[in-house]
Structure 1
Amino acid sequence: MSLFLQVAASVSPVFVIAAIGYVWVRAGWNFDVEFVTRLAMTLSVPCLIFMALMRSNVDPAVLRATVLAALVAYVLLGLVAWFGLRLLGLDLATYWGPVTFGNTGNLGLPVALFAFGQAGFDLAVIVFAVMAILSFTFGVWVVAGGGPPSRAFREPLVWGTILGSLFLAMGWHVPVWLGNSLDLVGQMAIPLMLLTLGVAISRLRPRSLGLAFWVSLAKLALCLAVPLAVGLAFGLGRLPLGVLVLQLSTPVAVTSYMLAAKYDARPDEVAGLVVVSTLMSVVAIPATLYFFV
């Protein structure tokens, strides 16, 4: 029990900062979610990812194994979610993205940093990069009901991932003055994302919480079992395995709600998934980390 409490304490800053965002809005103070989200997703997060990848000290063999394991795990999750939702008669545009992709950015990155330190954070960025590319290509295509996946290349986050991976592979580095500037911009990302998470949850108006509970529970079970099995199959060590399981089992992201609202894919039902799965994560994340920290 003492270890569980230590793990919970190590990730408590994540929930505290999100709670500040929640209370901020409930107190009646203004918070422009659209502006802050755009600032984070088009500027600070791409800088954070680029610098994390460029400076990553992850062993090349571990890096390759983590990338492949993350890719295979997401493909398997996507296939199981696709056929499961079809079998249950649930709308793919509404549920497939939220079930397959979790909140690896707003929640997964800071939790990995607090729980595993810089080494875990570097691996979490790699998993997040894999998720971002899949989410902004096939994920958007599913929720939008079609359209060219090439729209992903309009996203600065994708370019930050591509350039960071290129610099990592080639061993390149940016000048010190530019690196320091990008670091400062990237350091905004985690607190901004956590505050926005709390604000967005406070403004959601969910429906169908009964269905949301069972879908969220199924997502949690699936997103724990699949990465664990894939990670063990790839022979991942304790740290990369823990990061992989953590990242894939994060709750439904607020961005899933935003996409559902943008493409009219029953956003109220997605809001229910965000709220319920995030509440579950308060217990699920420390319980998961208990086995890896």
Structure 2
Amino acid sequence: MELINRIADVIIPVFFIVAIGYGYALRMRPDMASFNRIALDVLAPLLVYSALAAKDFQIADHWTLLIGGTVLILGSGLLALPLAKITGAQPRTLVPVVMFNNCGNMGLPLALLAFGSEHFGAAVALFSVSNLLHFSLGARITSHSARSRDLLMSPLMIATLLGFASAFTDVRPPEVMLSGMKLLGDALLPMMLFALGTRLTALTRSGLALGMLGALARPLVGLAIGIPLAWALGLEGAPRGQLLLFAALPPAVIQFMLAERYQQEPDKVGAMIMLGNALAVLFVPLALALGL
């Protein structure tokens, strides 16, 4: 009973905010383009940098978890490739959807609620590693014409690299500036959930069949790798829970933007992502039950 209450305490606030975004979008049909730009160019970079550069974040304490996250991403891609061939899906469409999860919009708020602020830096580090791989290797998988250099020069990637540099060198801005960065960056967490709810209004019945493969493959492949990987790496407690939550998250919303940019079946990618995020109500509690 205590475990059920803990899981409910984590997921209810998250899906409550998603539901508010969904309901608001059904009624008002807001244009989220401006918010998405602000989120990617300002809020997300400040959130990432302030977490990685914080004095209490010691990157040496999280090496095993970061290695686990990297192996999980790459391993998911390796398993998705034969799955695409078996099902007849285009690898450039399916593989990135299975590899990269929604560790920003959904993963960060969930990690904060499930494991507390003392372990939040580790979740941001996982998010940062995922973004580095997504905007380099993931972009190249999506399209052979993708220019990873342009993606890696985005504000979010620059903030990630600067954050890791601060974590390694202990060189950081004055504490008063870091506090301001954190205050503004923290605003991203509830707003990402609200934005996710608005995006779910795009899910249609015609997209259900197309989206089911990627929607199910992302968390199932992730958990199939993540559970034995956590044991092999000797992860316990919060790090083990973080890796299993990371493994079970739905497909990354940002992959739709890449698919649309490079015209790699964006309609199919969108269906996989929307349905996958809707099904998170099933897989997230499962991951929390395994990890808490």
Q: Is TM > 0.5 for Structure 1 vs Structure 2?
A: yes
Give me the whole-angstrom Cα distance separating, in 2, the residues matched to 1:56 and 1:241. 23
TM-score, normalized by length of structure 2? Answer: 0.93
The alignment-based identity, stated in percent, is 29
Q: Which residue of 2 aligns with 1:114?
A: 113
Q: Measured at CA, do residues 2 and 283 of structure 1 come closer, stay the same or move farther in structure 2, by a change above 3 Å?
A: farther
Larger mean Cα displacement after TM superposition, 192-201 or 62-71:
62-71
- Alpha-carbon deviation of 1:59? 5.2
- Alpha-carbon deviation of 1:99? 1.1
Q: Deviations for 1:173-230, whole angstroms, at most 9, x for unmatched residues?
A: 3113311221222022112211111111113446442242243223221111212222
Larger mean Cα displacement after TM superposition, 102-111 or 169-178:
169-178
Q: Which residue of 2 aligns with 1:246?
A: 245
Q: Which residue of 1 aligns with 2:96?
A: 97
Give me the whole-angstrom Cα distance separating, in 2, the residues matched to 1:90 and 1:98. 12
Q: Measured at CA, do residues 41 and 127 of structure 1 come closer, stay the same or move farther in structure 2, by a change above 3 Å?
A: same
Give me the whole-angstrom Cα distance separating, in 1, the residues matched to 2:266 and 2:158. 28
- Alpha-carbon deviation of 1:21? 0.9
Q: Deviations for 1:105-150, whole angstroms, at most 9, x for unmatched residues?
A: 0000000001111133221111111100000111112223333322
Q: Which residue of 2 aligns with 1:188?
A: 187
Q: Does the 8 A contact of 2:259 with 2:265 survive in 1? A: yes
Q: Does the 8 A contact of 2:52 with 2:167 survive in 1? A: yes
Q: Does the 8 A contact of 1:207 with 1:271 survive in 2? A: no
Q: Which residue of 2 aligns with 1:281?
A: 280
TM-score, normalized by length of structure 1? Answer: 0.92
Any residues of structure 2 matched to 1:1-293 within 5 Å, and which?
Answer: 1-27=1-27, 29-55=28-54, 57-58=56-57, 60-205=59-204, 207-293=206-292
Larger mean Cα displacement after TM superposition, 268-277 or 34-43:
268-277
Q: Does the 8 A contact of 1:94 with 1:265 survive in 2? A: yes
| Unpaired runs of at least 5, structure 1 | none
| Unpaired runs of at least 5, structure 2 | none
Q: Does the 8 A contact of 2:245 with 2:287 survive in 1? A: yes
- Alpha-carbon deviation of 1:60? 4.7
Give me the whole-angstrom Cα distance separating, in 1, the residues matched to 2:181 and 2:207. 42
Superposed CA RMSD: 1.9
Q: Measured at CA, do residues 232 and 86 of structure 1 come closer, stay the same or move farther in structure 2, by a change above 3 Å?
A: same
Give me the whole-angstrom Cα distance separating, in 1, the residues matched to 2:55 and 2:99. 27
